[in-house]
Structure 1
């Protein structure tokens, strides 16, 4: 599989420079922020090289460390908000009955009759719970399915699909 075809997992973003010697602050989205150095080079969303993080130390919201590509605070600050990704195949395989949210992307969403409603485009979190963004098979705008046991009661990741129970839609409220 070509590097650009690999499924990428968002692991953090550059929060800016730290100090005056070119260290960089990275907000980590991983359980262990120091694991960022173990994943090898970090990539941009398009799969191109972003940073190679070297010596790091943990902070309350990520890591501070050196990157081979950064020599000055100004260079680090210029990369602020750069999202950092790692190919899925660099992660350890999950335990039985576990999965990475990125593994849901690309799965078919099927109803209880087996009709394909669409494909999972992304897993979003707007502050409450995870939501599956579904691209409809028939075209049109994407829609969201709460990623709960009620709305997605069955996951068949190895077979490429999940059972989707769409919530009952409600109409506009009647005026009082």
Structure 2
């Protein structure tokens, strides 16, 4: 498991005074402000964050060290990470996406199906992106208790019971 979790991303500048439009990946979007300081993926830059207002597609925010529209524009697409220790503990049936990526996927009989390569959420729930071991093809599997009855982070594997039609 990683020590840092991606909690949001900068979607671009908002206004001309260095404010940014922020996409929060937190269950409660405004919680992103309580996990700081936030860092870039490589850890080279660190920001304190102050939310300013709701904006279309996210939150308005001020980041330390960002004072102009040009500086804010230059950060577009930058993912922001928080130390895992600053984030809340999750219930047993919830997981941080980063902890699922890389898990080996097995069927209920123990046969290796593949590896989780990404987790997507387009609004209707999480989808596991699984690279199938046999073919190298990608499979999107809804991340539900019925489809994934077991997640064992300690063993770095999960059990997937593929719905009828996905296992062909």
TM-score relative to the length of structure 1: 0.74
- Residues 41, 50 of structure 1: 8 Å contact kept: no
1:146 Cα deviation after fit: 1.9
- Residues 2, 99 of structure 2: 8 Å contact kept: no
1:8 Cα deviation after fit: 4.7
1:108 to 91, 104, 107: 104
Matched, 1:57 2:57: no
For residues 11-160 of structure 1, what are the structure 2 equivalents within 5 Å?
A: 11-45=7-41, 47-59=42-54, 61-138=57-134, 140-160=136-156
2:2 to 2, 6, 15: 6
1:123 Cα deviation after fit: 0.9
In structure 2, the CA distance between the partners of 1:70 and 1:7, relative to structure 1 (3 Å rule), is: same
Number of matched residues? Answer: 165
In structure 2, the CA distance between the partners of 1:132 and 1:54, relative to structure 1 (3 Å rule), is: closer
Deviates more, 1:124-133 or 1:70-79: 124-133
Deviates more, 1:70-79 or 1:97-106: 97-106
- Residues 36, 49 of structure 2: 8 Å contact kept: no
Q: CA RMSD in A?
A: 2.8
User: Could you list the runs of 4 or more consecutive aligned residues of structure 1 that deviate by over 6 angstroms after TM superposition?
Assistant: none
- Residues 7, 26 of structure 2: 8 Å contact kept: yes
1:9 Cα deviation after fit: 3.2
| CA-to-aligned-CA distance 1:69-122 (integer Å, 9 cap, x gap) | 312122112322333233444422213443333322222211111112122121
In structure 2, the CA distance between the partners of 1:99 and 1:6, relative to structure 1 (3 Å rule), is: closer
- Structure 2, unpaired ranges of 5+: none
- Residues 108, 118 of structure 1: 8 Å contact kept: yes
TM-score relative to the length of structure 2: 0.77
1:166 to 159, 162, 168: 162
* Structure number with bigger Rg: 1
